Structure 1
């Protein structure tokens, strides 16, 4: 199963490399695009859940790395919940 990393820039300028066990991330994000925080979190939740489900279908258990990444994304996003104009930029994909 091809895995990948996707790099994001949070509203405070911090950059983070995120993990996905599947290329499904490419169906939800475009490098260089900026997403409103709520939209970014929703897309991340959908994409990483699908990725984890694909691992479960193939190996019989969900992907703890994908679910852990989702938890880190949601925790980071919560730190900006009081900023109504907060946006997250997807910088690049690394396969």
Structure 2
């Protein structure tokens, strides 16, 4: 299963390289700006689908995809109070 990374730029300008166990994230995340809640919804769906692919192939979910989702959620909490906070997906490779 090909690993895919995506780079996220948070509202304060910091960038984070994120992990997915599957290329399916390319169907959910495209480079560009997202409202914070929209980004989180897309990222959650992408990582859940990626974990599902691992489950289909190996018989168990991908804990690394869950860990990545939790890390994104944790980081996002600091921006929730900012109206119109945007997250930019810089790249998906």
TM-score range normalised by the length of the shorter chain: over 0.9
Q: After TM superposition, give the deviation of residue 29 of structure 1 in Å.
A: 1.6
Instruction: Give 2:15's aligned residue.
Output: 15
Unmatched segments (≥5 aa) in structure 1: none
Unmatched segments (≥5 aa) in structure 2: none
Instruction: Determine if contact 2:9/2:90 at 8 Å carries over to the other structure.
Output: yes
Root-mean-square deviation over aligned CA pairs: 0.7
Instruction: Give 1:42's aligned residue.
Output: 41
Name the CA distance, whole Å, in 2 between partners of 1:88 and 1:11: 6
Instruction: Give 2:57's aligned residue.
Output: 58
Name the CA distance, whole Å, in 1 between partners of 2:6 and 2:35: 17
SS in 2 for 1:68: helix
TM-score of the two chains, using structure 1 as the length reference: 0.94
| Cα-to-partner distance string for 1:57-82 (whole Å, 9 max, x where unaligned) | 11111001100000000111111110
Name the CA distance, whole Å, in 2 between partners of 1:4 and 1:19: 6
Flag as ranges the 4+ runs of structure 1 deviating above 2 A. Answer: none
TM-score of the two chains, using structure 2 as the length reference: 0.96
Size of the aligned set, in residue pairs, is: 93
